[in-house]
Structures are given as C-alpha cells and as structure tokens.
Amino acid sequence: MQPELVLASGSPRRRELLRTLGVPFSVYPSSVTEEVPGDPFPGELVEILAAKKALAVAHTQDHALVIGSDTVVALNGEILGKPKDADDAVGILQRLQGQAHQVYTGIALVEVDGGKVSRRLIGHRVTEVMVRSMNREEIEWYVATGEPMDKAGAYGLQGIGSMWVDWIDGCYTNVVGMSLPLLYDMLNELDYSVLHSFSSPENKA
C-alpha cells in the first residue's frame, strides 16, 4: 500500500499543481520560519527550506510521504523573496523589468513509516525568465491588483503577470511553484507510482 501524500504548504498554486497529477493527497501547511543562517546560494536555500517544511510536518504523521517546497527569484545572484508590502513589490518589479532572472524551486520528500522518518530526498530546478520593460503606471497598476503580494519576485506567471513575461527557458511549473517533472522523478525514486495512484485530476484537497 502506498503512503498518503501530504503537501506541507498552504500555497494554492502548489495545491493546484499537485491536483493536476490526479493523485489523492491532503494539505498540512508547515509553520516553520524561513530564516536560514549564513549566505547559501539560491539552489541551496530552496532545498534547505523545502526540507525544513517537509520535516516539520513529517513529525506529525504516521505513514505518509510529505512534500515540502520553496521558491525564490534571483537577479544577478541576489535572492529576491516575497514583497513585504506594496512599495517593496514596486521596487522588486522595477528591478526585474527589462531583465532576465532565475527562478529556483526546491522540493523535499520525506517518507514516514510508523511515525519515524525512513527516507528523504531533496532536489531543485532552475528556470530563466525574461520580464519585459514596464513603465511606472503598469507596475503600480499590477501591484494594486494584489497578485504580486504572496509571490517570490512579485509576479505570477500563471496570472495577470504573464502579460509582461516575454519568454521562459526551462520548466514552467517550476516558476508557478513546484516542478512537476522533478516531483514525478523524485516520487518514482521513492517507489511512489503516480500512474498506479491516478484516479482523476478532480481529486480535492
């Protein structure tokens, strides 16, 4: 019997991405802080945070496969997270517009058997995104929609923000919040078969 999939995230975008796989899962948002000591590279940072989220929820489970994920945007090596407020969102978009940047998303899988962690797997993907030049009016209008406020880099590729994305190089779902090709490979590595668990993309969680 395959373990229950548990998504350690309250993100509606990650929930929707996981739902498209058509596998049953439950949602148990992690409440860990996102502070990490030192100055890790973006790929290291998202893996550390994804693992923290997954492990925090794993300790509450008996028989499950817990999925943790984290996303950051990097511009010229500098990590840009979620905006603190509207002014911060405007500032982030002013920096990103007219430039290519990288989106890093980490995924951590933690398998729990009998209430104990039995296996874990961590990885990340990088996607390059080009945001076209935006004028002040466009930036302020977009921020006023509220869409940027809960997103790394202050824009949503799957939403209104797509109007200003000229191109991406790499995995689309990685930018949205979780690389489904990477997740699929990692689940297979831990002997969880999406094909055998599939019922319908309409599974609710």
Q: Which residues are catalytic?
A: 70
The single-letter DSSP state of residue 205 is -
The single-letter DSSP state of residue 148 is G
Give the three-class secondary structure for 26.
Answer: strand
With CA atoms as reference, report the closest residue to 41 among 106, 109, 87, 95. 106
Distance separating alpha carbons of residues 92 and 125, to the nearest angstrom:
22
Tokens of 138: 């466009």
Residues whose CB is less than 8 angstroms from the CB of residue 88 and which lie 6 or more positions away in sequence, other chains included: 154
3-state secondary structure 107-136: EEEEEEECCEEEEEEEEEEEEEEEECCCCH
The answer to whether 70 touches 53, Cβ cutoff 8 Å, is yes
Please, is 65 exposed, middle or buried when counting C-beta atoms within 10 Å of its C-beta (0-12, 13-18, 19+)?
A: buried
